Amino acid sequence: MVALTERTEKRLTIQTVEIAEHTTAIRSLDWDRDRFDIEFGLQNGTTYNSFLIRGEQIALVDTSHEKFRQLYFDTLTGLINPQEIDYLIISHTEPDHSGLVKDLLQMAPEITVVASKVAIQFLENLVHQPFKQKIVKNGDRLNIGNGHEFEFVIAPNLHWPDTIFSFDHKTQTLYTCDAFGMHYCSDSTFDEDLKTIEADFRYYYDCLMGPNARSVLSAMKRMGELPSIKMIATGHGPLLHHNVAELTGRYRTWSQTQTKAETTVGIFYVSEYGYSDRLAQAIGNGISKTGVAVEIVDLGAEVDLQELRELVNRCTGLVVGLPPASSAASIQAALSTVLGSAKEKQAIGVFETGGGDDEPIDPLLSKFRNLGLTEVFPAIRIKQTPTENTYKQCEEAGTDLGQWVTRDRSIKAMKSLGADLDKALGRLSGGLYIITAKKGDVSSAMLASWVSQASFKPLGFSIAVAKDRAIESLMQVGDCFVLNVLEEGNYQTLMKHFLKRFAPGADRFEGVRTQAAENGTPILTDALAYVECEVVSRMDCGDHWAVYSTVYAGRVSKAEALTAVHHRKVGNHY
């Protein structure tokens, strides 16, 4: 049975579905999620999934985002009197799942909250009133009758430190919240259509789980000790039912690849301000674009100092997000461990978040410098609420760092091409173009020559975009951009401008004449022609994405002029 409510203006709806015996999914469908969080890059909205399980006693797994307050409680109270709920199982305390815990406990103060120790502590600060609680550890069980017995699996860092999975032995359903999820909103409750969801599944993994690949493998090892899992009831997107083995297999393979990467950068931060985890993640994404593995460590969570030391030793680069000077002794100890294990030749980058009582960033940086580390990007100092541009700055800083730690490898790879082949391939030539893109408040641009028309019907063309280009994150499927065509004999100024080395987050259009395209993207006034385009698909081509786009508008400014052509000598350069 599927019941859909009417869509409201903001396109928030709720879906309730019987997904297994005595088990109802309450899915909050957020069709137009527009906030700029990195992991929402594919713009397919998201869902927040909550589950009601009725044994002799009744358990609710997670709640919803606070923007669903009215809709969620209208739905829940239509299903059950909240006072009849015995247990509220909290998979982790991120606000999009736990945003309504306080309201629920006000309605039904007798509920026992079941969660990890860290999650309970966090909730105490959130709820500000005593509540019944049950702290669970790995392997603990909770029997609610009628065969529904939950077994808990600790899964720290997926993607919050306090995460637990809950396995219902009766329905063989594993409730995982963020893990194995995706930001994908549709009426489909399940994953029957793998083709339409797999890009979002991968993107979400790359953003949230990849930086914790070791933790993914540890959690999966614990999952392996459970009886066979029929369904993975995730907290975001469709539930996994048709492709459980396939999709969990992908998590395993991706995580194994990550942990085997030859180059790793560690990001060490403290999540106290609420922004620093997002900033760390944005830097991590930028690093990942260069093919370097990232390990993110929240120094505020329980950190094993020996493991921390080993990680720092293994890393080619370090990023440190400065904690407030007032932070706990354990955090300071962890920070000292990072500093004490850092060594010459490593790359370093730092970021600072929040208010006035921060530990001064410069003394720490000079300590790293004195140890012989190289500062690869200018310190990121954030004093106000981060904006889309702040996250982009972080991503670009991460990419700079990733490129720095892999620079020897890149040079070696270029040199390894045979001389004849290199020259022959160099005979492939193209035009000269500037790609410009804008997504929300963030804009970017780059010079490109690997551009070629690819179809008549529909009108479309391809561009090869290196995976570590700044503009790459604005060229996801569904994104719009402009292809500006440069003019023969009149392209030097624009080419020179866009080939400059821009600092992370720099405005690439400063000093360049532009006008806005229909889709808001800057068009270069001095270009010979432009076309407005939408990305339709992306093919993985090793170090580049072949981005196929269709075009829907365009103009030429000088009827007689020709396109600038780019001849080259070798195939291993543009």
Are 241 and 175 spatial neighbours (Cβ–Cβ below 8 Å)? no
88 binds ligand FMN (CB under 6 A): no
CA distance 435 to 446: 5
Report the residue from 223, 470, 482, 486 that binds ligand FMN according to the rule CB under 6 A.
470
Q: Three-state SS for 43?
A: coil
CA distance 102 to 415: 61
By beta-carbon proximity to ligand FMN, the closer residue of 183 and 538 is 538
464 binds ligand FMN (CB under 6 A): yes
Question: Residue 77 carries which side chain, given as an amino acid letter?
Answer: T
CB of 369 to ligand FMN, least distance (A): 25
CA distance 380 to 366: 15
Report the residue from 449, 462, 473, 514 that binds ligand FMN according to the rule CB under 6 A.
449
Report the residue from 83, 84, 314, 574 that binds ligand FMN according to the rule CB under 6 A.
574
By beta-carbon proximity to ligand FMN, the closer residue of 502 and 509 is 502
By beta-carbon proximity to ligand FMN, the closer residue of 8 and 492 is 492
Binding to ligand FMN (CB under 6 A): which residues in 102-141?
none
With contacts defined by CB under 6 A, name the span among 214-222, 326-334, 348-356, 447-455 that binds ligand FMN: 447-455
By beta-carbon proximity to ligand FMN, the closer residue of 195 and 501 is 501
CA distance 148 to 175: 13
Query: Which has the closest alpha carbon to 279: 185, 186, 384?
Result: 384
447 binds ligand FMN (CB under 6 A): yes
Q: How many CA atoms lie within 13 A of 484 on its CB side?
A: 25
Residue with tokens 């760390």: 280
Report the residue from 446, 486, 529, 531 that binds ligand FMN according to the rule CB under 6 A.
446
Q: Residue 163 phi/psi, 5° resolution? A: -70, 135
With contacts defined by CB under 6 A, name the span among 28-36, 252-260, 315-323, 461-469 that binds ligand FMN: 461-469
512 binds ligand FMN (CB under 6 A): no
Q: Which helix (H) or strand (E) holds 95?
A: helix 95-98
Instruction: Supply angle C-alpha 110, 113, 115, rounded to 5.
Output: 170
With contacts defined by CB under 6 A, name the span among 162-170, 250-258, 313-321, 445-453 that binds ligand FMN: 445-453
289 binds ligand FMN (CB under 6 A): no
What is the torsion angle, in degrees rounded to the nearest 10, for the CA atoms of residue 208, residue 211, residue 214 and residue 219? -10
CB of 205 to ligand FMN, least distance (A): 23
CB of 398 to ligand FMN, least distance (A): 12
Are 403 and 287 spatial neighbours (Cβ–Cβ below 8 Å)? no
How far from 314 is each of 346, 403, 493, CA to CA, in Å? 10, 18, 44
486 binds ligand FMN (CB under 6 A): no
CB of 500 to ligand FMN, least distance (A): 9
CA distance 184 to 39: 11
29 binds ligand FMN (CB under 6 A): no
By beta-carbon proximity to ligand FMN, the closer residue of 31 and 450 is 450
CB of 545 to ligand FMN, least distance (A): 9
With contacts defined by CB under 6 A, name the span among 80-88, 156-164, 251-259, 441-449 that binds ligand FMN: 441-449
Report the residue from 136, 244, 279, 465 that binds ligand FMN according to the rule CB under 6 A.
465
CB of 466 to ligand FMN, least distance (A): 4
The β-bridge relationship of strands 58-61 and 46-54 is antiparallel
CA-atom Rg of the chain in angstroms: 25
Binding to ligand FMN (CB under 6 A): which residues in 548-567?
566
By beta-carbon proximity to ligand FMN, the closer residue of 190 and 502 is 502
469 binds ligand FMN (CB under 6 A): yes
In our burial notation (b when 16+ CB lie closer than 10 A, e otherwise), range 199-228 reads bbbebbbbbbbbbbbbbbebbbeebeeeee
448 binds ligand FMN (CB under 6 A): yes
Beta partners for 465?
545
The β-bridge relationship of strands 46-54 and 23-30 is antiparallel
The β-bridge relationship of strands 374-375 and 317-322 is unpaired
Binding site for ligand FMN (CB under 6 A): 446-450, 464-466, 469-471, 499, 502, 566, 574
